[in-house]
Amino acid sequence: MNEDAGPIFRQVADQIENAIVDGSLAEETQAPSSNELAAFHRINPATAAKGLNQLVAEGVLYKRRGVGMFVATGARDQLLKRRRSDFADQYVRPLMTEAQKLGISVRELSAMIDEWEGRR
Amino acid sequence: MTAVATVQDVTMRFRDNTALDHISAAIEQDAITGLLGRNGAGKTTLMQLLTGHRVPTSGRIEVFGARPHENDAVLSRMCFVKEGQRYPDHFRVRDALDSAAMLFPAWDAGLAQSLLSDFDLPPKRPIKKLSRGMNSAVGIVIGLASRAPVTLFDEPYLGLDAVARQLFYDRLLADYAENPRTVVLSTHLIEEIASLLEHVLLIDRGRVLLDADAESLRGSALTVTGPRDKVAAFAGRNELLHSESLGGHSRAVIRLRNGAHGDDARAAGLSWETTNLQQLVVAMSLQTAQGRPSTSTDDLEEVTR
């Protein structure tokens, strides 16, 4: 975990979310336990548990009593939806800020995106 | 939080030196607490008081709801791994473990055995022939295998190389996860242990500077950089801990106030990054040492006012 990147429980939650979004942690499969996360990331188990509980509160994970945490059905769609709505703020805003500083117009930006797309 | 130990208005004086000056704090049960502070801050004294090795000049110390001094009911549930622990001259490693086994009711011989091999400690080696690092390792083995409900480690890593320290952190975390208990760890190597901590108690010159949940501290301070007047304006709305300026450019460590966060720094035209625990501790300790925000080169304070 990155000590300089804000609360560790949020980083733990983000990482599990990433695994769900990219499909490596499928719906209805078991998520890592707080002790496994603690050992792997070398963090306090209470912090790892806090990250997991955050995901339970968001409805991404659910608890099976005595077994552990599982990925909820529909979790991936839910996360994709949230990330799409965050996209403008996280990526477009800094892009526009820097473009403005450099005097790049919206039209030029749009042309750059088209050109980039054409190169792929 | 449930407190396993409380310190109420405790002062400890040695002749003309006041090691602890009216401090109050609580140690959270079954959490790992980092006891941080500079040399001479009072960390060891506080641990000695908690473990009944000393009696405070004034104030009250309670562990498990009772005073620890000469109280077997309390002390039998505590293990204190002292910095540079000494053992009787004729003791071999095995003898130290055997006497620890008799002392601690929850002693786990299997764990002690596996830790011995983890740290490459030869059981038959006389302790006085051990290197400093190996001596520290003996203390770590005893501290972990004691499984004491309250275990205190006072800078347990002296002489240990980076590999052995990592081994200590890993074993501590693994055993703590399986057997939660109260751990108090004093250290200077803040960066190494920051992510292990649930709670942070920072003392400086015998006073408590910080008594907080470790996660709440992450993100509670920012290091901002930008034009000097903008940094000063942002600092004025928050708490300035440390600043440096070069030409018209400043960098400052700032504790956020009133729910401010990084977006506010960005909106104020500054770039920012989260201040990690070590940087925060250093900035706060320097601030107290100087009685005002620490600065170098130019004095940002003048601009702030």
CATH architecture, range A8-75: Orthogonal Bundle (1.10)
Q: ipTM score here? A: 0.76
The residue segments making up the domain with residue B190 are: 3-216
**Chain B: which residues have CB within 8 Å of chain A?**
31-32, 169-170, 173-174, 176-178, 180, 191, 194-198, 214-215, 218-219, 273-278
Q: Is A4 helix (H, G, I), strand (E, B) or coil?
A: coil
CATH number at residue B135: 3.40.50.300
pLDDT of residue A22: 92
Instruction: State how far the alpha carbon of B155 is from the alpha carbons of B138, B148, B165, B187, B204, in Å.
Output: 13, 18, 11, 5, 16
CATH number at residue B266: 3.30.70
Task: Name the residue among B197, B198, B276 with its Cβ closest to that of A4.
Answer: B276
Asked whether the CA dihedral A105, A106, A109, A114 is positive or negative, the reply is: negative
Q: Indicate yes or no: CB of B173 within 8 angstroms of CB of A39.
A: yes
Q: Using one digit for the tens of pLDDT, what is the confidence trace for B203-217?
A: 999 999 999 999 888
CATH 1.10.10.10 residue spans of chain A: 8-75
- Residue ranges in chain A whose pLDDT is less than 70: 3
Contact A80/B at CB under 8 A: no
Asked whether the CA dihedral B118, B119, B121, B127 is positive or negative, the reply is: negative
Task: Name the residue among B173, B215, B219 with its Cβ closest to that of A50.
Answer: B215
Instruction: State how far the alpha carbon of B80 is from the alpha carbons of B5, B101, B139, B151, B288, in Å.
Output: 14, 14, 9, 6, 29
Same domain, yes or no: B58 and B142? yes
DSSP3 helix / strand / coil % (chain B, rounded to 5)? 35, 30, 30
Q: Indicate yes or no: CB of A7 within 8 angstroms of CB of B173.
A: no
Same domain, yes or no: B184 and B269? no
Same domain, yes or no: B141 and B256? no
Cα–Cα dist A41/B31, whole Å: 18
Contact A53/B at CB under 8 A: no
Residue B14, C-beta contacts closer than 8 angstroms, at least 6 positions apart: none
Q: Using one digit for the tens of pLDDT, what is the confidence trace for B80-96?
A: 999 878 888 899 999 99
Half-sphere exposure in the Cβ direction for B163 (13 Å, CA): 4
Using an 8 Å CB-CB cutoff, list chain B residues near A37: none
pLDDT of B302 > 50? The answer is no
Using an 8 Å CB-CB cutoff, list chain A residues near B31: 46
Q: What crossing angle do the helices spanning A106-119 and A93-102 adopt, rounded to 10°? A: 120
Res. B299 pLDDT band, cuts 50 70 90: very low
Rounded average pLDDT over B269-286 = 90
